[in-house]
């Protein structure tokens, strides 16, 4: 069942090492069918070279495995938490891409230093608080990982469409989008802007973020009713 959804998830997972975002088996991607309330996700710890579309595991929003011979990604509860909290998203990607992870490890937001960043995000890429020992050891670590993300977006009133990525403190980035292909694109952009931000900080350690007019212009050039980037209908 859901052959097309599994194919989408499969292709997104393969795209991660192709874009240099993933080493070994770090990372995973999932694609959601909102009508059915089911998402397809990578099986845990399977090498990318050996992956096949039919290996994708199907999970419903209650966390039940509805299809698949393999064990799903250990991060499945984080994906599920995000699909539940952010109803407009259709795909989630998790990587340990090097530059974005360096910011996550340092507990630092990726500052919005230029138009490349503003093309994807309406401000800094946010970073969660550290997880508590209870959240880590309580038996639902991956679900709680999703919870600290949701808590951050709720408490700051962030729209997941305006901020399609987050850094989990001491861990790594998660990204999302209307489709899993879009979530992959955001993962590429997040890694790229993290790299550039790190270098800009080397040049100017106290560099301020960009002016709101430039942020608005670039973000809205690509998003929302006034967007004029790309082809109509794309």
DSSP letter at 36 equals: T
H-helix or E-strand spanning residue 77: helix 76-85
Residues labelled catalytic: 119, 229
Question: Does 195 interact with a copy of itself (rule: CB under 8 A)?
Answer: yes
- Taking CB under 8 A as the criterion, the residue among 7, 36, 178, 221 binding a copy of itself is 221
Measured CA to CA, the distance from residue 51 to residue 92 in angstroms comes to: 18
- Taking CB under 8 A as the criterion, the residue among 63, 88, 207, 224 binding a copy of itself is 207
Question: Does 201 interact with a copy of itself (rule: CB under 8 A)?
Answer: yes
Nearest residue to 153 (alpha-carbon basis) of 127, 178, 132 = 127
- Whose Cβ is closer to a copy of itself: residue 36's or residue 200's? 200
Question: Does 129 interact with a copy of itself (rule: CB under 8 A)?
Answer: no
List the interface residues with a copy of itself, window 154-193 (CB under 8 A).
Answer: 170-172, 185, 188-189, 192
Measured CA to CA, the distance from residue 197 to residue 113 in angstroms comes to: 7
Q: How far is CA 85 from CA 11, 183, 212, in A?
A: 25, 16, 28
Give percent helix, percent strand, percent coil of the chain, each to the nearest 5. Answer: 45, 15, 40
166: which strand partners? 174
Question: What is the contact mask toward a copy of itself in residues 24 to 63, using x (rule: CB under 8 A)?
Answer: xxx----------------xxxx-----------------
Applying CB under 8 A, the residues found at the interface with a copy of itself are: 23-26, 43-46, 70-71, 74, 96, 98-99, 101-108, 113-116, 119, 130-131, 133, 136-137, 141, 170-172, 185, 188-189, 192, 195-204, 207, 210-211, 213-214, 216-217, 221, 228-232, 234
């Amino acid at each position: 069942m859901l052959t097309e959804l599994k194919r989408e998830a499969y292709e997104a997972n393969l795209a991660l090492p192709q874009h240099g975002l993933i080493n070994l088996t770090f990372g995973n991607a999932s694609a959601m069918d909102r009508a059915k309330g089911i998402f397809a996700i990578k099986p845990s710890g399977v090498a990318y070279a050996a992956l096949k579309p039919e290996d994708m595991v199907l999970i419903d929003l209650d966390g039940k495995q509805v299809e698949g011979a393999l064990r799903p990604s250990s991060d499945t509860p984080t994906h599920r938490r995000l699909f539940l909290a952010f109803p407009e998203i259709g795909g989630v990607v998790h990587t340990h891409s090097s530059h974005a992870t360096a910011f996550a490890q340092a507990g630092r937001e990726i500052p919005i230093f230029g138009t490349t960043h503003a093309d994807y995000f309406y401000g800094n890429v946010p970073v969660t608080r550290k997880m508590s020992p209870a959240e880590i050891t309580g038996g639902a670590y991956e679900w709680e990982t999703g919870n600290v993300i949701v808590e951050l977006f709720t408490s700051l009133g962030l729209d997941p469409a305006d901020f399609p990525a987050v850094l989990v403190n001491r861990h790594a980035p998660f990204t999302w989008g209307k489709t899993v292909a879009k979530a992959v694109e955001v993962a590429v952009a997040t890694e790229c802007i993290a790299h550039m931000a790190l270098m800009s900080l080397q040049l100017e350690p106290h560099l301020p973020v960009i002016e709101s007019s430039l942020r608005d212009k670039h973000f809205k050039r690509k998003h929302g009713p006034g967007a004029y980037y790309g082809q109509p209908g794309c």
